[in-house]
A and B are shown apart, each in its own frame.
Chain A
Amino acid sequence: MDLVTVNGLSKRFGGIVALSEAAFSARAGEVHALLGENGAGKSTFIQILSGAVKHDGGSILVDGQDYRPANPDDAQARGIAAVFQELSLIPDLSVEQNIWFRHEPQTMLGTVNRTQTRRNTLALLEKYDFPTLRPEQELRRLTLAERQIVEIAKGLAKNPRILILDEATSALPAREAEWLLKLTRQLAAEGRLVIFISHRMAEVRAIADRLTIFRNGSTVAAHEANTVSDDEIVTRMIGRHLDRLYPERVPTMTQRIALKVANLTSGSRLSGVDFSLREGEVLGVGGLQGHGQRELFQALFGATKAGGMIELWGKPAAIGNPRQALTGKDGIALVPEDRRGQGLLLTKSVRENLTLSVIRRFTENGLLSRQKEAALVKEMVDFLRIRAGTPEQLAGTLSGGNQQKVIFGKMLLTEARVLLLYDPTRGVDVGTKGEIFQLMRDLAAKGYAILFHSSDMPELVHVADRVLVMRNGRIAAALEGEHISEEGILRAAMLETRAA
């Protein structure tokens, strides 16, 4: 019998239909993938299941019984836990305090039993073979990937029968993502149901027993995973045939050097980085996570202090802060790693977010011209096909992929022609990924210079003209031509090279 059966589920937010007549059914002991393009309603669906949002119509049966959670506690009582991204965690608490938040083991006096908490934490981390986490560490010190892992631990701490993973791999580096996939299989083998949402087809392929596809808030297909091809799935998802994900790599590089970096050093994380990025080039940055990629991008953008020399378009550049980085035609712009913490004002509109960096451009005699602003906003929303009810919709209520597009748009509105893209396709659906890669190539052809990091290695391999591999805060190798391969990147990332 099915563990969860959903019929005719509907939900609207004001004028926006997030779900209409969606259906879904899944059994215990399986990994069930939920697929769909950005804004298809996947997250809304799981928010309803986990009691965070109430549905307008339709029925949900769990174990054959009517299920209508009033809040997340109800959901938990029925054995349902969802793994959300970083924001449901509390930055001021430690890792273990976050994991057991509101469910701490107690002493007889009703205070938190610390020794028991620690014991439970270690047992949990060991049982599921978690990548190293220190229970006492303050959450705010963790990277996005580490926070994502804490979030997973928090979900598992509730020992759920149904675990929902909403794009949990998107923030994880390759090795950790691998671990999560294995964990997912293990949970299914234990008889639990795992509902797995991801925009990475390979992952879905690796673990899903069955899959359900949403499109525009409705269910368009449900399959045994081994009965459909990738092609069919993608076509169902985006409603058209996707010829190719990766654009043709026509070399557009010129001799002109856009960005030259010499001996860039920052604490222990960056120790003497040298490279140049040419006009028209897409230069990939890869390697194992935590080897200085983040610091490199932030240092170039002026978000962390660094020593060394940076030249933009042949002129020495003093980049003390992001504002200086963004200024002018010789500027440098960043799509940051943490979309919610660094990229977007969640409680402000799409319009305000898009124009924040360039708001001065819309002033005449010191006064803003709303028409000018609106015109450019509309142009950008259309150009990137940002799915928002109106430009006044709050950025925080957009689907994940559309939030990413807003950040992209915000960067494109600046005059900067050196672009730093840190994992720009995180949480973006396949169709849109293709569009973003195409956009990157188009920009390169127009004379932009792009530094591109992706946690998804195939993207580096297929999109970049050259790939720099980082190890221990240095460039360990620069791969070109046929040397660019996943294997080549991994080898360079791990092998000892001769002392540089």
Chain B
Amino acid sequence: MSAFLARNRLIVLAYAGMVVLLLVTAMFSPGFLSVSNMRSTVVLAAFVGIVALGQTFVIIGGGIDLSVPWVLNSAAIVMALLCGGQDLPLIWVMPLLLAGGAFIGLVNGVGVAQFGVPPIIMTLATNVILQGLILVLTGGSPTPSAPALIQFLSVGRIGGFPVVALIWLALTLAATLLLSKAAFGRHLYALGTSATVAEFSGVPTARTTILTYVVSGLTAALAGMLLTGYSGQAYLGMGDAYLFTSIAAVAIGGASILGGSGHYLGTVAGAMVLTILTGLLPALNLSSGALLVVYGAVILITVSIGSETFAGLGGRIRGRRA
């Protein structure tokens, strides 16, 4: 048990931070811990968490995915357009768009793994290209409203639980299995720790890298569709906030931004922390500008706590001689 705590110190820390933040928020706005409020907090966190799932994989593998905003946005808008407010088309539209998200991820992954394009450049480029395509496609005109079924997936409940939260839970389980219980996870951590050592150890480095971007494309597209249900419609720029929050959730969750460490369970706490913060600030009567300032500060602090341990360890190892 203590070994577990030591190994996952940063993740435990993220959850501790989450609890503290909850209590502080409850102090300022007494209604915060109410069931209905917790429910809506979890729903909002779920969108962040789902996008951040792919981001977690990519970051552990030593990359970064900056294309999530417009993968998300594209999925949202194309879904609204294709469905025209009807439920029935969802049967093929959802799989199609998930495949579309995966395809964008494939393009990112192949660019990074096979052609050696730096992840920042590669994913930034796909992001801008998608943005352009969507602008051309819509001509800036509003899209039809979201089909009822997708609204149910985002705001509906099953036995009192928000459906989207259940989806998030299922995804968390799947991600945890992949990271902790599958060969893929070992390969991924090795890749992010040292690509050269991974390669020399027979890890399928290219395939593993590509897979992380594919997962990221999938989760961003899924989040886009669910978010459309939540807002009732798709609109331009709806993905923008998720670039920062998805990366921040991973960092707060204890992953090294340089790759090789972290876990999706930490990211889950990170997504919660970010969402609770958004709830805390209005209670403090702060503006949304102030929210951004606090957001930034929180990231900076958490990441520097993380990197302090990292630097300590790194120094330790660098200092060691044969």
- A residues contacting B by CB (< 8 A) are 43, 46-47, 52-53, 82, 84-85, 87-88, 166-167, 170, 301, 303, 321-323, 325-327, 334, 336, 339, 341-348, 352, 355-357, 359-360, 363, 366-368, 392, 394, 396-397, 399-401, 403, 410, 414, 426-427
Name the residue on A nearest B315 (C-beta).
A52
Rounded to whole angstroms, the CA-CA distance of A56 and B37 in the bound complex is 52
Closest to A84 in B: B321
Asked if residues A363 and B182 are in contact (CB atoms below 8 Å), the reply is: yes
B183 engages A167 (CB within 8 Å) = no
Q: Does B261 contact A (CB under 8 A)?
A: yes
Per-residue contact bits, chain B 306-322, to A (CB 8 Å; 1 contact, 0 not)? 00000001111111111
Q: How many whole Å from B283's CB to the nearest CB in chain A?
A: 40
Q: Which A residue sits closest to B207, measured CB to CB?
A: A323
Partner of A303, one of B7, B200, B203: B200
Top 3 closest A-B pairs, CB basis?
A400-B322, A396-B317, A52-B319
B317 touches A347 (CB 8 A): yes
Given A356-B201, A357-B201: A88 touches B182 (CB 8 Å cut-off):
no
B190 touches A345 (CB 8 A): yes
In angstroms, Cα B204 to Cα A344, docked, is 16
B194 CB–A CB distance under 8 Å: yes
- Report which of B183, B203, B315, B321 forms a contact with A46, defined as CB distance below 8 A: B321
- Contact partners of A346 in chain B: CB under 8 A: 193-194, 317
For A396, the chain B residues whose CB sits under 8 A away are 316-317, 320
Residue of B nearest to A356 (CB): B201
- Contacts A360-B183, A366-B182, A368-B182; A348 near B199 (Cβ below 8 A): no
Q: Is the CB of B203 within 8 A of A53?
A: no
- In contact, A348 and B190 (Cβ under 8 angstroms): yes
Q: A88-B318, A367-B177 are in contact. List 20 more A-B contacts (CB 8 A).
A: A43-B320, A47-B321, A82-B321, A84-B321, A85-B321, A87-B317, A322-B199, A325-B202, A336-B200, A342-B200, A344-B197, A348-B260, A352-B186, A356-B190, A356-B202, A368-B186, A396-B316, A397-B317, A399-B322, A403-B322
- Specify which of B202, B261, B319, B320 lies most central, judged by the most chain A CB atoms within 10 Å of its CB: B202
When the two chains form the complex, which single residue of B187, B193, B198, B322 contacts A347, counting CB atoms closer than 8 Å? Answer: B193
Q: Is the CB of B318 within 8 A of A322?
A: no
What are 23 inter-chain pairs, A to B, with CB distance below 8 A?
Answer: A43-B322, A85-B322, A87-B317, A88-B318, A166-B321, A303-B200, A322-B199, A341-B196, A342-B197, A344-B197, A352-B186, A355-B186, A356-B198, A356-B202, A359-B183, A360-B183, A367-B181, A368-B183, A368-B186, A392-B3, A397-B316, A397-B317, A397-B320
Q: CA separation between A346 and B193, bound complex, in Å? A: 8
Q: A359-B183, A363-B183, A368-B181 are in contact. Are A323 and B204 (CB under 8 A)?
A: yes
Contacts of A410 in B (CB 8 A): 201
CA distance A360 to B198 in the complex (A): 14
Residue in B7, B177, B181 with the greatest tally of chain A CB atoms within 10 Å: B181
User: Is B194 within 8 A of A167, CB to CB?
Assistant: no
Interface size grouping (class) on chain B: 20 to 34
Does any Cβ of A come within 8 Å of B189's Cβ? yes
B321's partner among A327, A363, A368, A400 (CB-CB below 8 A) is A400
Chain B neighbourhood of A85, CB < 8 A: 321-322
One digit per residue, 1 when the CB lies within 8 angstroms of any chain A CB and 0 when it does not, for chain B 281-322 equals: 000000000000000000000000000000001111111111
Measured CB to CB, the nearest residue on chain B to A47 is B319
Q: Give complex CA distance A427, B203 in Å.
A: 26
CA–CA, A342 and B315, complex, Å: 19
Task: Return A335 CB to nearest CB of chain B, in Å.
Answer: 10
Closest to B260 in A: A347
- The answer to whether A345 and B318 touch across the interface, beta carbons within 8 angstroms, is no
Verify A303–B182 contact, CB threshold 8 A.
no
CB distance from A14 to the nearest CB of B (A): 9
Q: Which residue of A lies closest to B322 (CB)?
A: A400
Complex alpha-carbon distance, A53 and B316, angstroms: 8
Scoring B residues 178 to 221 as 1 if CB is less than 8 Å from chain A, else 0, what string do you get?
00111100110110011011111111100000000000000000
The reply to whether B318 and A87 form a contact with Cβ atoms under 8 Å apart is yes
How near does chain A come to B167, taking the closest CB pair, in angstroms?
22
B261 contacts across to A, CB distance below 8 A: 347
B202 touches A322 (CB 8 A): yes
Determine the distance from Cα of A356 to Cα of B260 in the docked complex, in whole angstroms: 14
Chain B residues with CB under 8 A of A82: 321
Contact A427 B320 (CB under 8 A): no
User: A426: shortest Cβ distance to chain B, in Å?
Assistant: 8
Report Cα–Cα, A47/B197, bound state, in Å.
26
Give, as a whole number of angstroms, the nearest-CB distance from B122 to chain A: 22
**Which residues of B, 66-125, contact A by the 8 Å Cβ criterion?**
none
Q: How far is the CB of B20 from chain A (nearest CB, A)?
A: 28
B residues less than 8 Å from A368 (CB atoms): 180-183, 186
From A167, A334, A426, B200 is in contact (CB under 8 Å) with A334
Q: Are A357 and B196 in contact (CB under 8 A)?
A: no
Q: Mark B225-266, 1 if CB is under 8 A from A, else 0.
A: 000000000000000000000000000000000001100000
Q: How many angstroms from the CA of A401 to the CA of B7 in the assembled complex?
A: 25
B3 cross-chain contacts in A, Cβ below 8 A: 392
